[in-house]
């Protein structure tokens, strides 16, 4: 059964600054508690990542993912192929400028390979959303300073 999680926050930065931070996938292990490694396999003509190989660790379980990124003016999406731990994954960042701030909405759907107890699922969602939003906000703010 697919698991969904989402969070929305305001970040004091432009959509471009946020997307630039997300595009720097090689830096993910330095600010995301989930990522152990991230390697860009190929890029779009504008230099943004297209296919990325990552190693993630969540709740003591390590998984290797092959992600396909897609980019728009105010959004970014990735999809993961099947791995040992999951049947698939889809994640989206949607950015809405509001004056000097940007509303950032992150949505993720993961289809685990096996059932996960509710208490572990709740904890995993919190960890993923913390990395995807709160740590992203810290990284964007640090990059601006």
Q: Which CATH number characterizes residue 36's domain?
A: 3.30.530.20
Question: Looking at residue 59, what DSSP letter applies?
Answer: T
Q: Which domain holds residue 20?
A: 3-144
* Domains contained in the chain, number: 1
The answer on pLDDT for 145 being more than 80 is no
Q: Is 69 exposed, middle or buried (0-12, 13-18, 19+ CB in 10 A)?
A: buried
Give φ, ψ of 103 to 5 degrees.
Answer: -80, 125
pLDDT tens track for 79-119:
998 888 899 999 999 999 999 999 999 999 999 888 888 89
Q: What is the pLDDT of residues 74-89, one digit of tens each?
A: 999 999 988 888 999 9
Structure tokens belonging to residue 68: 């396909």
**What global pTM score does this model have?**
0.93
Handedness of CA 20, 22, 23, 24 (dihedral sign): positive
- Collapsing DSSP to helix, strand or coil, 47 comes out as coil
Cα–Cα–Cα angle for 55, 82, 127, nearest 5°?
Answer: 50
Among 83, 144, 87, 134, which residue's Cα sits nearest to residue 110? 87
**Residue 1: what pLDDT?**
78
Looking at residues 55-70, what average pLDDT do you find?
94
Q: How confident is the model at residue 43 (pLDDT cuts 50, 70, 90)?
A: very high
């Amino acid at each position: 059964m697919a698991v969904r999680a989402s969070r929305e926050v305001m970040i004091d930065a432009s959509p471009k600054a946020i997307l630039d931070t997300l595009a720097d996938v090689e830096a993910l292990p330095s600010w995301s508690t989930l990522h152990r490694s991230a390697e860009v396999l190929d890029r779009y003509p504008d230099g943004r990542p297209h296919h990325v190989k990552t190693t993630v660790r969540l709740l003591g379980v390590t998984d290797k993912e092959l992600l396909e990124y897609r980019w728009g003016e105010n959004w970014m999406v990735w999809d993961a192929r099947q791995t040992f731990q999951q049947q698939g994954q889809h994640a989206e960042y949607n950015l809405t400028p509001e004056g000097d701030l940007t509303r950032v909405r992150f949505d993720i759907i993961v289809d685990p390979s096996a059932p996960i107890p509710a208490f572990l699922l709740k904890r995993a969602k919190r960890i993923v959303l913390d990395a995807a939003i709160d740590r992203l906000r810290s990284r964007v703010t640090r990059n601006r300073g």
